[in-house]
Structure 1
Amino acid sequence: MDKKHIAVIGATGQIGTPLSKGLLLLGHDVTIITRARSAKNDTKLAEFEKQGAKIVECADMHDVDSMANILQGIDTLVASVPGSKEIIQKSEPIWLEAAVKAGVERFVPTEFGSHTQAIEMGDGEIFDQKKRFHDLLMNSGIGWTLYYNGGIFDYFLPNLRFFRKITTFGNLELPIHTHDIEDIGYIAAMVVTDERTLNKCVQVDYNVLTQNEMLAQIKQNWPDYPFEYEHFSSEYITEMKENAGDEITSKKGAETDKERWGINYVNYVIGKLAAFTDLTLRASELYPAYVCKRPEEALSDAKFVFED
Protein backbone atom coordinates (compact mmCIF):
# COMPACT_ATOMS: atom_id res chain seq x y z
CA MET A 1 0.00 0.00 0.00
CA ASP A 2 1.16 3.56 -0.68
CA LYS A 3 2.27 5.60 2.28
CA LYS A 4 -0.56 7.82 3.58
CA HIS A 5 -0.87 10.65 6.09
CA ILE A 6 -3.63 9.71 8.52
CA ALA A 7 -5.13 11.85 11.27
CA VAL A 8 -6.77 10.03 14.16
CA ILE A 9 -9.20 11.44 16.71
CA GLY A 10 -9.51 9.10 19.69
CA ALA A 11 -6.11 7.46 19.31
CA THR A 12 -5.85 6.47 22.97
CA GLY A 13 -9.25 4.77 23.06
CA GLN A 14 -10.19 1.11 22.94
CA ILE A 15 -9.98 0.74 19.15
CA GLY A 16 -7.95 3.89 18.54
CA THR A 17 -4.94 2.45 20.35
CA PRO A 18 -4.42 -0.69 18.22
CA LEU A 19 -5.52 1.26 15.12
CA SER A 20 -2.86 3.94 15.64
CA LYS A 21 -0.25 1.34 16.52
CA GLY A 22 -1.13 -0.53 13.32
CA LEU A 23 -0.87 2.59 11.17
CA LEU A 24 2.60 3.27 12.54
CA LEU A 25 3.72 -0.34 12.08
CA LEU A 26 2.55 -0.17 8.46
CA GLY A 27 4.79 2.87 7.92
CA HIS A 28 2.18 5.60 7.50
CA ASP A 29 2.52 9.16 8.76
CA VAL A 30 0.18 9.58 11.71
CA THR A 31 -1.12 12.78 13.28
CA ILE A 32 -2.98 12.29 16.54
CA ILE A 33 -5.43 15.04 17.43
CA THR A 34 -6.24 15.44 21.11
CA ARG A 35 -7.88 18.15 23.18
CA ALA A 36 -5.03 18.15 25.69
CA ARG A 37 -2.41 15.92 27.20
CA SER A 38 -3.34 14.61 30.62
CA ALA A 39 -2.32 12.03 33.18
CA LYS A 40 -4.87 9.69 31.61
CA ASN A 41 -3.55 9.77 28.04
CA ASP A 42 0.06 10.97 28.28
CA THR A 43 1.69 7.54 28.54
CA LYS A 44 0.05 6.30 25.34
CA LEU A 45 0.71 9.56 23.53
CA ALA A 46 4.37 9.42 24.51
CA GLU A 47 4.60 5.86 23.20
CA PHE A 48 3.06 6.93 19.88
CA GLU A 49 5.54 9.82 19.67
CA LYS A 50 8.43 7.40 20.11
CA GLN A 51 7.03 5.36 17.22
CA GLY A 52 6.93 8.48 15.02
CA ALA A 53 3.46 9.94 15.48
CA LYS A 54 2.86 13.68 15.60
CA ILE A 55 0.69 14.85 18.51
CA VAL A 56 -1.40 17.97 17.95
CA GLU A 57 -3.47 19.55 20.71
CA CYS A 58 -6.69 21.32 19.81
CA ALA A 59 -8.48 22.75 22.84
CA ASP A 60 -11.66 23.44 20.86
CA MET A 61 -12.29 20.58 18.48
CA HIS A 62 -15.61 22.21 17.54
CA ASP A 63 -13.81 25.12 15.88
CA VAL A 64 -13.95 24.40 12.15
CA ASP A 65 -11.07 26.70 11.23
CA SER A 66 -8.76 25.30 13.92
CA MET A 67 -9.51 21.74 12.85
CA ALA A 68 -9.13 22.60 9.15
CA ASN A 69 -5.69 24.08 9.82
CA ILE A 70 -4.61 20.90 11.58
CA LEU A 71 -5.94 18.76 8.72
CA GLN A 72 -3.92 20.48 5.99
CA GLY A 73 -2.01 17.80 4.07
CA ILE A 74 -3.95 14.91 5.63
CA ASP A 75 -5.14 12.11 3.33
CA THR A 76 -7.66 10.46 5.70
CA LEU A 77 -9.33 11.51 8.94
CA VAL A 78 -10.44 8.69 11.24
CA ALA A 79 -12.90 9.37 14.08
CA SER A 80 -12.14 6.44 16.38
CA VAL A 81 -14.34 7.68 19.19
CA PRO A 82 -17.40 6.34 21.02
CA GLY A 83 -20.54 6.70 18.91
CA SER A 84 -22.49 8.80 21.40
CA LYS A 85 -25.37 11.07 20.45
CA GLU A 86 -23.22 14.16 21.07
CA ILE A 87 -20.35 12.88 18.93
CA ILE A 88 -22.59 11.88 16.01
CA GLN A 89 -24.89 14.90 16.07
CA LYS A 90 -22.50 17.66 17.14
CA SER A 91 -18.84 16.72 16.70
CA GLU A 92 -18.69 14.66 13.52
CA PRO A 93 -20.50 17.24 11.34
CA ILE A 94 -17.92 19.83 12.42
CA TRP A 95 -15.01 17.46 11.76
CA LEU A 96 -16.50 16.62 8.37
CA GLU A 97 -16.82 20.31 7.49
CA ALA A 98 -13.21 20.89 8.54
CA ALA A 99 -12.01 17.89 6.54
CA VAL A 100 -13.79 19.11 3.40
CA LYS A 101 -12.38 22.62 3.92
CA ALA A 102 -8.86 21.21 4.30
CA GLY A 103 -9.09 19.03 1.19
CA VAL A 104 -8.92 15.71 3.06
CA GLU A 105 -9.58 12.84 0.66
CA ARG A 106 -11.38 10.41 2.97
CA PHE A 107 -13.42 10.54 6.19
CA VAL A 108 -13.89 7.45 8.36
CA PRO A 109 -16.70 8.05 10.88
CA THR A 110 -17.34 6.35 14.19
CA GLU A 111 -18.85 3.02 13.12
CA PHE A 112 -16.66 0.20 14.53
CA GLY A 113 -19.53 -2.14 15.38
CA SER A 114 -22.86 -3.18 13.86
CA HIS A 115 -23.55 -2.68 10.15
CA THR A 116 -25.47 0.62 10.15
CA GLN A 117 -25.92 0.64 6.38
CA ALA A 118 -27.86 -2.63 6.54
CA ILE A 119 -30.17 -1.37 9.30
CA GLU A 120 -33.51 0.34 8.71
CA MET A 121 -34.50 3.62 10.32
CA GLY A 122 -36.29 2.86 13.56
CA ASP A 123 -34.34 -0.30 14.36
CA GLY A 124 -32.27 1.49 17.02
CA GLU A 125 -31.87 5.06 18.23
CA ILE A 126 -28.09 5.21 17.90
CA PHE A 127 -28.22 3.79 14.36
CA ASP A 128 -30.84 6.34 13.30
CA GLN A 129 -28.39 9.07 14.32
CA LYS A 130 -25.56 7.39 12.40
CA LYS A 131 -27.68 6.99 9.28
CA ARG A 132 -28.55 10.70 9.31
CA PHE A 133 -24.84 11.51 9.51
CA HIS A 134 -24.12 9.08 6.67
CA ASP A 135 -26.47 11.11 4.46
CA LEU A 136 -24.48 14.23 5.34
CA LEU A 137 -21.17 12.44 4.72
CA MET A 138 -22.14 10.97 1.36
CA ASN A 139 -23.51 14.28 0.11
CA SER A 140 -20.39 16.23 1.16
CA GLY A 141 -18.22 15.28 -1.82
CA ILE A 142 -15.49 13.74 0.35
CA GLY A 143 -14.52 10.08 0.06
CA TRP A 144 -15.52 7.75 2.86
CA THR A 145 -15.09 4.27 4.31
CA LEU A 146 -17.44 2.61 6.82
CA TYR A 147 -15.60 0.01 8.91
CA TYR A 148 -17.69 -2.71 10.56
CA ASN A 149 -15.78 -4.97 12.91
CA GLY A 150 -18.80 -6.74 14.37
CA GLY A 151 -18.38 -7.64 18.03
CA ILE A 152 -15.36 -7.32 20.30
CA PHE A 153 -14.41 -10.50 22.19
CA ASP A 154 -14.75 -8.81 25.58
CA TYR A 155 -18.43 -8.02 25.12
CA PHE A 156 -19.68 -10.74 22.77
CA LEU A 157 -18.03 -13.91 24.05
CA PRO A 158 -19.60 -15.33 27.23
CA ASN A 159 -17.59 -14.45 30.35
CA LEU A 160 -18.06 -13.41 33.96
CA ARG A 161 -16.20 -10.09 33.84
CA PHE A 162 -19.21 -7.91 33.02
CA PHE A 163 -22.07 -10.05 34.36
CA ARG A 164 -22.54 -12.19 37.46
CA LYS A 165 -23.99 -14.92 35.25
CA ILE A 166 -23.24 -16.15 31.75
CA THR A 167 -25.64 -13.88 29.88
CA THR A 168 -27.16 -14.45 26.46
CA PHE A 169 -29.52 -12.47 24.27
CA GLY A 170 -32.22 -13.02 21.68
CA ASN A 171 -31.84 -15.70 19.00
CA LEU A 172 -29.10 -18.09 20.12
CA GLU A 173 -28.69 -19.46 16.57
CA LEU A 174 -27.84 -16.15 14.89
CA PRO A 175 -24.26 -15.96 13.52
CA ILE A 176 -22.15 -13.66 15.68
CA HIS A 177 -19.02 -12.21 14.04
CA THR A 178 -16.59 -11.30 16.82
CA HIS A 179 -12.87 -10.51 16.95
CA ASP A 180 -10.05 -9.61 19.33
CA ILE A 181 -9.48 -5.88 19.81
CA GLU A 182 -5.87 -6.03 18.57
CA ASP A 183 -6.96 -7.66 15.32
CA ILE A 184 -9.80 -5.17 14.91
CA GLY A 185 -7.39 -2.26 15.25
CA TYR A 186 -4.75 -3.63 12.89
CA ILE A 187 -7.28 -4.59 10.21
CA ALA A 188 -8.78 -1.11 10.53
CA ALA A 189 -5.33 0.37 9.88
CA MET A 190 -5.11 -1.62 6.65
CA VAL A 191 -8.68 -0.78 5.63
CA VAL A 192 -8.49 3.01 6.04
CA THR A 193 -5.30 3.21 3.95
CA ASP A 194 -6.47 0.88 1.17
CA GLU A 195 -7.61 2.45 -2.12
CA ARG A 196 -9.92 -0.52 -2.73
CA THR A 197 -12.05 0.48 0.28
CA LEU A 198 -12.78 4.05 -0.84
CA ASN A 199 -16.55 4.69 -0.81
CA LYS A 200 -17.14 1.15 0.45
CA CYS A 201 -18.21 -0.60 3.63
CA VAL A 202 -15.82 -3.21 5.01
CA GLN A 203 -17.07 -6.07 7.17
CA VAL A 204 -14.61 -8.01 9.35
CA ASP A 205 -15.69 -11.61 8.92
CA TYR A 206 -12.89 -14.00 9.93
CA ASN A 207 -14.63 -15.41 13.02
CA VAL A 208 -18.26 -16.43 13.36
CA LEU A 209 -20.03 -18.52 16.03
CA THR A 210 -23.58 -18.71 17.29
CA GLN A 211 -24.21 -18.08 20.97
CA ASN A 212 -25.12 -21.76 21.34
CA GLU A 213 -21.73 -22.70 19.92
CA MET A 214 -20.05 -20.29 22.36
CA LEU A 215 -21.94 -21.83 25.28
CA ALA A 216 -20.88 -25.30 24.17
CA GLN A 217 -17.25 -24.13 24.20
CA ILE A 218 -17.62 -22.81 27.76
CA LYS A 219 -19.16 -26.08 28.96
CA GLN A 220 -16.48 -28.12 27.24
CA ASN A 221 -13.61 -26.05 28.64
CA TRP A 222 -14.97 -25.74 32.20
CA PRO A 223 -17.13 -28.88 32.71
CA ASP A 224 -17.03 -28.76 36.51
CA TYR A 225 -17.62 -25.05 37.02
CA PRO A 226 -21.14 -24.24 38.35
CA PHE A 227 -22.01 -21.53 35.83
CA GLU A 228 -25.27 -19.69 36.28
CA TYR A 229 -27.06 -18.52 33.16
CA GLU A 230 -29.39 -15.66 32.30
CA HIS A 231 -31.15 -15.11 28.98
CA PHE A 232 -32.91 -12.01 27.66
CA SER A 233 -35.49 -13.10 25.10
CA SER A 234 -36.09 -11.46 21.73
CA GLU A 235 -39.48 -10.32 23.00
CA TYR A 236 -37.97 -8.66 26.06
CA ILE A 237 -35.25 -6.96 23.99
CA THR A 238 -37.84 -5.66 21.52
CA GLU A 239 -39.98 -4.27 24.33
CA MET A 240 -37.01 -2.58 26.01
CA LYS A 241 -35.88 -1.04 22.70
CA GLU A 242 -39.22 0.75 22.54
CA ASN A 243 -39.77 1.57 26.21
CA ALA A 244 -36.41 1.91 28.01
CA GLY A 245 -35.39 5.34 29.26
CA ASP A 246 -32.32 7.54 29.01
CA GLU A 247 -30.63 6.29 32.17
CA ILE A 248 -27.23 4.58 31.98
CA THR A 249 -27.45 1.47 34.16
CA SER A 250 -25.20 -1.05 32.40
CA LYS A 251 -21.96 -1.99 34.11
CA LYS A 252 -19.17 -0.14 32.29
CA GLY A 253 -21.83 1.18 29.94
CA ALA A 254 -21.68 4.43 28.01
CA GLU A 255 -24.99 4.21 26.15
CA THR A 256 -28.38 5.08 27.57
CA ASP A 257 -30.62 2.11 28.32
CA LYS A 258 -32.72 2.90 25.25
CA GLU A 259 -29.65 3.03 23.02
CA ARG A 260 -28.22 -0.16 24.56
CA TRP A 261 -31.38 -2.19 24.02
CA GLY A 262 -31.57 -0.85 20.48
CA ILE A 263 -28.06 -2.20 19.90
CA ASN A 264 -29.07 -5.56 21.41
CA TYR A 265 -32.12 -5.62 19.13
CA VAL A 266 -30.00 -5.05 16.03
CA ASN A 267 -27.38 -7.63 17.03
CA TYR A 268 -29.40 -10.41 18.61
CA VAL A 269 -32.93 -10.11 17.21
CA ILE A 270 -32.61 -9.01 13.57
CA GLY A 271 -29.00 -10.23 13.17
CA LYS A 272 -27.30 -7.14 11.77
CA LEU A 273 -24.12 -7.23 13.84
CA ALA A 274 -22.57 -8.15 10.50
CA ALA A 275 -24.05 -7.79 7.01
CA PHE A 276 -22.97 -8.02 3.40
CA THR A 277 -24.62 -5.41 1.19
CA ASP A 278 -23.74 -4.53 -2.41
CA LEU A 279 -21.30 -1.91 -1.11
CA THR A 280 -19.72 -4.21 1.49
CA LEU A 281 -16.28 -5.78 1.06
CA ARG A 282 -15.21 -8.75 3.18
CA ALA A 283 -12.00 -8.24 5.14
CA SER A 284 -11.20 -11.94 4.69
CA GLU A 285 -11.17 -11.44 0.91
CA LEU A 286 -9.23 -8.17 1.05
CA TYR A 287 -6.58 -9.68 3.36
CA PRO A 288 -6.77 -13.47 2.97
CA ALA A 289 -3.34 -14.07 4.51
CA TYR A 290 -4.19 -12.29 7.77
CA VAL A 291 -4.49 -14.66 10.73
CA CYS A 292 -6.90 -13.57 13.48
CA LYS A 293 -7.04 -14.72 17.04
CA ARG A 294 -9.82 -17.29 17.29
CA PRO A 295 -12.69 -17.04 19.81
CA GLU A 296 -11.90 -20.59 20.90
CA GLU A 297 -8.58 -19.30 22.24
CA ALA A 298 -10.28 -16.68 24.41
CA LEU A 299 -12.91 -19.11 25.67
CA SER A 300 -10.18 -21.51 26.85
CA ASP A 301 -8.38 -18.74 28.77
CA ALA A 302 -9.36 -18.64 32.45
CA LYS A 303 -8.26 -15.02 32.76
CA PHE A 304 -10.58 -14.03 29.93
CA VAL A 305 -13.57 -15.99 31.21
CA PHE A 306 -13.32 -15.31 34.93
CA GLU A 307 -11.25 -12.17 35.59
CA ASP A 308 -13.22 -9.61 37.60
Structure 2
Amino acid sequence: MGIFKENPFGHILFLKKWLIRFMGVITHQRYKGFNTLEIEGSDVIRNLPENNVLFVSNHQTYFADVVAMFHVFNASLSGRDDSIKNVGYLWNPKLNVYYVAAAETMKKSLLTKIFAYAGSISVERTWRSEGKDVHRQVKMSDISNIGKALNDGWVITFPQGTTTPWKPLRKGTAHIIKKYKPLVVPVVIDGFRRSFDKKGLRIKKKGILQHMNIKEPLDIDYENESFEAIIEKLEYAIEQHPSFLKVISKQDLLAYEEENKLRKWKKEKKAKKAKKSKKA
Protein backbone atom coordinates (compact mmCIF):
# COMPACT_ATOMS: atom_id res chain seq x y z
CA MET A 1 0.00 0.00 0.00
CA GLY A 2 1.43 3.36 -1.05
CA ILE A 3 1.93 5.73 1.85
CA PHE A 4 -0.31 8.37 0.26
CA LYS A 5 -3.00 6.06 -1.10
CA GLU A 6 -6.49 7.43 -0.40
CA ASN A 7 -9.94 5.93 0.05
CA PRO A 8 -12.92 7.23 -2.00
CA PHE A 9 -13.41 10.09 0.48
CA GLY A 10 -9.86 11.39 0.18
CA HIS A 11 -8.62 10.01 3.50
CA ILE A 12 -5.03 8.76 3.47
CA LEU A 13 -5.15 5.05 4.34
CA PHE A 14 -1.75 5.06 6.04
CA LEU A 15 -2.98 7.71 8.50
CA LYS A 16 -6.29 5.94 8.97
CA LYS A 17 -4.49 2.68 9.77
CA TRP A 18 -2.37 4.30 12.48
CA LEU A 19 -5.37 6.17 13.84
CA ILE A 20 -7.35 2.92 14.20
CA ARG A 21 -4.34 1.25 15.84
CA PHE A 22 -3.86 4.09 18.32
CA MET A 23 -7.55 4.53 19.18
CA GLY A 24 -7.94 0.76 19.42
CA VAL A 25 -5.12 0.40 21.94
CA ILE A 26 -6.35 3.19 24.22
CA THR A 27 -9.98 1.99 24.14
CA HIS A 28 -9.39 -1.76 24.44
CA GLN A 29 -9.74 -1.91 28.24
CA ARG A 30 -13.14 -0.28 28.05
CA TYR A 31 -14.41 -3.61 26.68
CA LYS A 32 -11.81 -6.06 28.00
CA GLY A 33 -10.71 -4.90 31.43
CA PHE A 34 -12.86 -2.24 33.06
CA ASN A 35 -15.88 -4.01 31.57
CA THR A 36 -16.40 -7.31 29.76
CA LEU A 37 -17.74 -7.50 26.21
CA GLU A 38 -19.55 -10.75 25.46
CA ILE A 39 -19.60 -11.43 21.70
CA GLU A 40 -21.70 -13.67 19.47
CA GLY A 41 -21.29 -13.99 15.71
CA SER A 42 -17.57 -13.81 14.86
CA ASP A 43 -18.18 -16.54 12.29
CA VAL A 44 -20.75 -14.31 10.57
CA ILE A 45 -18.13 -11.55 10.16
CA ARG A 46 -15.60 -13.91 8.60
CA ASN A 47 -18.08 -15.09 5.97
CA LEU A 48 -19.07 -11.65 4.68
CA PRO A 49 -18.06 -10.25 1.27
CA GLU A 50 -15.46 -7.50 1.02
CA ASN A 51 -17.96 -4.78 0.19
CA ASN A 52 -21.66 -3.79 -0.01
CA VAL A 53 -22.40 -4.91 3.55
CA LEU A 54 -24.69 -2.80 5.75
CA PHE A 55 -24.62 -3.39 9.51
CA VAL A 56 -27.85 -2.22 11.14
CA SER A 57 -27.77 -1.80 14.92
CA ASN A 58 -29.60 -0.38 17.90
CA HIS A 59 -27.84 2.60 19.44
CA GLN A 60 -26.82 3.28 23.06
CA THR A 61 -23.97 5.84 22.94
CA TYR A 62 -22.56 8.21 20.32
CA PHE A 63 -19.15 6.57 19.96
CA ALA A 64 -18.62 3.53 22.23
CA ASP A 65 -20.91 1.35 20.08
CA VAL A 66 -18.95 2.00 16.89
CA VAL A 67 -15.56 1.65 18.56
CA ALA A 68 -16.61 -1.73 19.96
CA MET A 69 -17.68 -2.86 16.48
CA PHE A 70 -14.28 -1.87 15.05
CA HIS A 71 -12.67 -4.04 17.72
CA VAL A 72 -14.99 -7.00 17.14
CA PHE A 73 -14.83 -6.85 13.33
CA ASN A 74 -11.03 -6.79 13.25
CA ALA A 75 -10.62 -9.41 15.97
CA SER A 76 -13.03 -11.72 14.11
CA LEU A 77 -11.26 -11.22 10.78
CA SER A 78 -7.94 -12.08 12.43
CA GLY A 79 -9.33 -15.46 13.51
CA ARG A 80 -10.51 -14.81 17.06
CA ASP A 81 -13.74 -16.55 18.03
CA ASP A 82 -16.10 -14.24 19.91
CA SER A 83 -13.16 -12.57 21.65
CA ILE A 84 -11.12 -9.36 21.53
CA LYS A 85 -8.34 -10.74 23.71
CA ASN A 86 -4.90 -9.36 22.79
CA VAL A 87 -4.94 -6.22 20.61
CA GLY A 88 -2.59 -7.71 18.01
CA TYR A 89 -5.53 -7.79 15.60
CA LEU A 90 -5.20 -4.02 15.30
CA TRP A 91 -1.88 -4.24 13.50
CA ASN A 92 -3.57 -4.88 10.17
CA PRO A 93 -7.08 -3.42 10.55
CA LYS A 94 -9.79 -3.49 7.91
CA LEU A 95 -9.67 0.02 6.46
CA ASN A 96 -12.87 0.05 4.43
CA VAL A 97 -15.25 0.12 7.40
CA TYR A 98 -17.47 3.22 7.66
CA TYR A 99 -20.23 4.40 9.95
CA VAL A 100 -23.09 6.86 9.46
CA ALA A 101 -23.08 9.77 11.93
CA ALA A 102 -24.73 13.17 12.35
CA ALA A 103 -22.61 15.89 10.74
CA GLU A 104 -23.13 18.34 13.62
CA THR A 105 -21.83 15.75 16.11
CA MET A 106 -18.69 15.04 14.10
CA LYS A 107 -17.77 18.75 13.88
CA LYS A 108 -18.04 19.57 17.58
CA SER A 109 -14.44 19.07 18.70
CA LEU A 110 -10.98 17.97 17.65
CA LEU A 111 -11.68 14.52 19.09
CA THR A 112 -14.85 14.05 17.04
CA LYS A 113 -12.99 15.19 13.92
CA ILE A 114 -10.37 12.52 14.61
CA PHE A 115 -13.15 9.94 15.00
CA ALA A 116 -14.60 11.16 11.69
CA TYR A 117 -11.30 10.51 9.88
CA ALA A 118 -11.45 6.91 11.09
CA GLY A 119 -14.50 6.28 8.91
CA SER A 120 -17.46 8.61 9.44
CA ILE A 121 -20.00 9.24 6.69
CA SER A 122 -21.33 12.51 8.08
CA VAL A 123 -24.94 13.23 7.15
CA GLU A 124 -27.34 16.05 7.98
CA ARG A 125 -30.26 14.84 10.07
CA THR A 126 -33.61 15.77 8.57
CA TRP A 127 -35.54 15.81 11.86
CA ARG A 128 -33.16 17.27 14.44
CA SER A 129 -30.53 20.02 14.49
CA GLU A 130 -28.72 21.68 17.41
CA GLY A 131 -31.20 20.25 19.91
CA LYS A 132 -34.28 21.45 18.02
CA ASP A 133 -36.85 19.65 15.90
CA VAL A 134 -36.58 20.49 12.20
CA HIS A 135 -38.13 19.29 8.97
CA ARG A 136 -35.87 19.35 5.94
CA GLN A 137 -35.24 17.36 2.80
CA VAL A 138 -32.70 14.57 2.63
CA LYS A 139 -29.47 15.71 0.96
CA MET A 140 -28.91 13.52 -2.06
CA SER A 141 -25.16 13.89 -1.58
CA ASP A 142 -25.54 12.13 1.80
CA ILE A 143 -27.29 9.18 0.16
CA SER A 144 -24.65 9.15 -2.57
CA ASN A 145 -21.83 9.07 0.01
CA ILE A 146 -23.39 6.08 1.76
CA GLY A 147 -23.59 4.35 -1.62
CA LYS A 148 -19.95 5.20 -2.27
CA ALA A 149 -18.95 3.71 1.09
CA LEU A 150 -20.97 0.53 0.44
CA ASN A 151 -19.28 0.17 -2.92
CA ASP A 152 -15.91 0.37 -1.17
CA GLY A 153 -16.62 -1.75 1.92
CA TRP A 154 -18.76 -2.13 5.03
CA VAL A 155 -21.08 0.50 6.52
CA ILE A 156 -22.48 0.66 10.06
CA THR A 157 -25.74 2.53 10.58
CA PHE A 158 -28.05 3.18 13.51
CA PRO A 159 -31.46 3.57 11.84
CA GLN A 160 -33.24 4.98 14.90
CA GLY A 161 -31.02 8.05 14.66
CA THR A 162 -30.99 8.40 18.44
CA THR A 163 -29.64 6.64 21.52
CA THR A 164 -33.16 6.59 23.01
CA PRO A 165 -34.46 3.00 22.95
CA TRP A 166 -37.66 1.87 21.23
CA LYS A 167 -37.83 4.86 18.90
CA PRO A 168 -39.16 4.14 15.38
CA LEU A 169 -36.63 3.43 12.65
CA ARG A 170 -36.07 6.11 10.01
CA LYS A 171 -37.33 5.14 6.57
CA GLY A 172 -34.13 6.42 4.97
CA THR A 173 -32.45 3.13 5.84
CA ALA A 174 -35.06 1.21 3.84
CA HIS A 175 -34.49 3.54 0.87
CA ILE A 176 -30.74 2.86 1.03
CA ILE A 177 -31.36 -0.89 1.19
CA LYS A 178 -33.68 -0.88 -1.82
CA LYS A 179 -31.40 1.44 -3.81
CA TYR A 180 -28.01 -0.22 -3.21
CA LYS A 181 -29.13 -3.78 -2.35
CA PRO A 182 -26.47 -4.44 0.32
CA LEU A 183 -26.18 -7.56 2.42
CA VAL A 184 -27.90 -6.45 5.65
CA VAL A 185 -26.41 -7.72 8.91
CA PRO A 186 -28.33 -6.98 12.15
CA VAL A 187 -26.36 -6.20 15.31
CA VAL A 188 -27.85 -6.05 18.80
CA ILE A 189 -25.85 -4.39 21.58
CA ASP A 190 -26.51 -4.07 25.30
CA GLY A 191 -24.74 -2.80 28.40
CA PHE A 192 -23.13 0.23 26.75
CA ARG A 193 -25.66 2.65 28.22
CA ARG A 194 -24.83 1.41 31.71
CA SER A 195 -21.06 1.42 31.07
CA PHE A 196 -20.62 4.85 29.49
CA ASP A 197 -22.06 8.35 29.39
CA LYS A 198 -24.31 9.30 26.48
CA LYS A 199 -21.36 10.27 24.27
CA GLY A 200 -19.61 6.99 25.02
CA LEU A 201 -16.40 8.77 26.00
CA ARG A 202 -16.49 8.64 29.79
CA ILE A 203 -16.69 5.38 31.74
CA LYS A 204 -19.75 5.73 33.97
CA LYS A 205 -19.58 2.36 35.69
CA LYS A 206 -17.07 -0.50 35.74
CA GLY A 207 -17.68 -4.23 35.89
CA ILE A 208 -20.58 -4.18 33.43
CA LEU A 209 -21.24 -7.19 31.21
CA GLN A 210 -21.66 -5.72 27.72
CA HIS A 211 -23.09 -7.74 24.88
CA MET A 212 -22.84 -7.70 21.09
CA ASN A 213 -24.76 -10.17 18.96
CA ILE A 214 -23.96 -10.17 15.23
CA LYS A 215 -26.80 -12.01 13.55
CA GLU A 216 -27.01 -13.79 10.22
CA PRO A 217 -27.73 -11.54 7.19
CA LEU A 218 -31.39 -10.82 6.53
CA ASP A 219 -33.30 -12.30 3.62
CA ILE A 220 -34.66 -9.24 1.79
CA ASP A 221 -36.58 -9.06 -1.47
CA TYR A 222 -35.12 -5.76 -2.70
CA GLU A 223 -37.54 -5.41 -5.60
CA ASN A 224 -40.85 -6.44 -4.06
CA GLU A 225 -40.74 -5.69 -0.34
CA SER A 226 -42.19 -2.32 0.65
CA PHE A 227 -40.29 0.27 2.69
CA GLU A 228 -42.63 -0.44 5.61
CA ALA A 229 -42.02 -4.19 5.43
CA ILE A 230 -38.25 -3.69 5.42
CA ILE A 231 -38.44 -1.31 8.39
CA GLU A 232 -40.53 -3.80 10.36
CA LYS A 233 -38.07 -6.57 9.52
CA LEU A 234 -35.19 -4.40 10.78
CA GLU A 235 -37.06 -3.50 13.98
CA TYR A 236 -37.48 -7.16 14.84
CA ALA A 237 -33.89 -7.99 13.85
CA ILE A 238 -32.30 -5.36 16.10
CA GLU A 239 -34.90 -6.02 18.82
CA GLN A 240 -36.40 -2.54 18.76
CA HIS A 241 -39.90 -3.46 17.61
CA PRO A 242 -42.59 -2.20 20.05
CA SER A 243 -43.42 -5.80 20.94
CA PHE A 244 -40.02 -6.07 22.68
CA LEU A 245 -41.15 -3.49 25.23
CA LYS A 246 -43.01 -6.30 26.95
CA VAL A 247 -39.74 -7.99 27.86
CA ILE A 248 -37.48 -5.03 28.69
CA SER A 249 -35.65 -5.73 31.95
CA LYS A 250 -36.45 -3.66 35.01
CA GLN A 251 -32.73 -2.91 35.39
CA ASP A 252 -32.51 -1.42 31.88
CA LEU A 253 -35.66 0.64 32.38
CA LEU A 254 -34.48 2.05 35.73
CA ALA A 255 -31.02 2.83 34.31
CA TYR A 256 -32.57 4.72 31.40
CA GLU A 257 -34.91 6.68 33.71
CA GLU A 258 -32.01 7.65 35.99
CA GLU A 259 -29.99 8.80 32.98
CA ASN A 260 -32.88 11.00 31.84
CA LYS A 261 -33.27 12.52 35.33
CA LEU A 262 -29.56 13.36 35.46
CA ARG A 263 -29.65 14.89 31.99
CA LYS A 264 -32.69 17.01 32.92
CA TRP A 265 -31.00 18.19 36.14
CA LYS A 266 -27.85 19.21 34.27
CA LYS A 267 -29.92 21.09 31.68
CA GLU A 268 -31.85 22.98 34.38
CA LYS A 269 -28.63 23.80 36.24
CA LYS A 270 -27.07 25.16 33.04
CA ALA A 271 -30.17 27.27 32.34
CA LYS A 272 -30.12 28.75 35.86
CA LYS A 273 -26.43 29.57 35.53
CA ALA A 274 -27.04 31.30 32.20
CA LYS A 275 -29.92 33.27 33.71
CA LYS A 276 -27.73 34.47 36.59
CA SER A 277 -24.99 35.52 34.15
CA LYS A 278 -27.47 37.66 32.19
CA LYS A 279 -28.64 39.41 35.36
CA ALA A 280 -25.05 40.12 36.35
Same-fold status (TM-score > 0.5): no
Query: More helix per residue: 1 or 2?
Result: 2
TM value normalised by structure 1 = 0.32
TM value normalised by structure 2 = 0.34
Q: Which has the higher contact order (CA 8 A, sep 6+)?
A: 2
